[in-house]
Amino acid sequence: MIARLALAATLAALANPALAAVQIDFTPGATSKSYRKILVAPAQVEFDRRFIEDGKVLRGNRGKLRPQEQEQLAGEIGQSMRNALADAFRKRGFEVVAAPASDVLTISPAVRDLYVNTPSDRVGSRVLARSAGEARMVVEGRDASGARVLRASNKATAGETASFQAEHRATNLQAFDEMFRGWAEELAVALAGAR
């Protein structure tokens, strides 16, 4: 029986690499059992330093992102992460609310070290790659007093394939969305199991 469970866990991790190394830590002494309501705060997005530097070299002047394009990309990625979390918590029976309260767990998501292989569809900005890019997904859950109840993080590659493919902005964003949704589901399952 244990061997079958281990095999099932291994197959699930292979089917969705974003779930392979999810780390969820509950703060000792903090309890998540009473939380039925979740507030998902706007996600913070930070680009990997290599993303900015590589854009200057690899994509040249045509593919270099302007500040407003970086802002737009960060906004889209952040909203994708926030939506994935809200949907996953709803699916697990949590009420997703719009304002903090004493019985609400505030989830603060962040996307760090973001590297998107094709952030723009401008001429000359497309690349051949084996993935859409990578990111570290981080979430902290805090109670009404601001005390941390949980922290979760995982670094993963979005839309990884066995061979090089022409990457496009839309498919890159879709691959990140799928990665966020898989990871958010794991987080919601863990939190629901702790209730």
For the chain, what are the domain ranges?
17-193
- Give the per-residue pLDDT at 63: 54
- Give the per-residue pLDDT at 11: 37
pLDDT mean by block of 10 residues, the chain; 195 residues: 32 45 74 81 93 57 70 96 98 95 95 86 65 94 92 92 82 94 92 76
What is 17-193's CATH number, 1.10.3470, 1.25.40, 3.30.160, 1.10.10? 3.30.160
Bridging pattern class, strands 148-158 and 23-26: antiparallel
- Give the per-residue pLDDT at 15: 47
Euclidean distance between CA atoms 178 and 84, whole angstroms: 9
- Give the per-residue pLDDT at 135: 95
Task: Note whether 22 and 88 are within 8 A (CB).
Answer: no
Bridging pattern class, strands 133-142 and 104-116: antiparallel
- Give the per-residue pLDDT at 9: 37
Look at residue 110 and give its three-state secondary structure: strand
Bridging pattern class, strands 148-158 and 133-142: antiparallel
Amino acid occupying residue 108: S
- Give the per-residue pLDDT at 27: 84
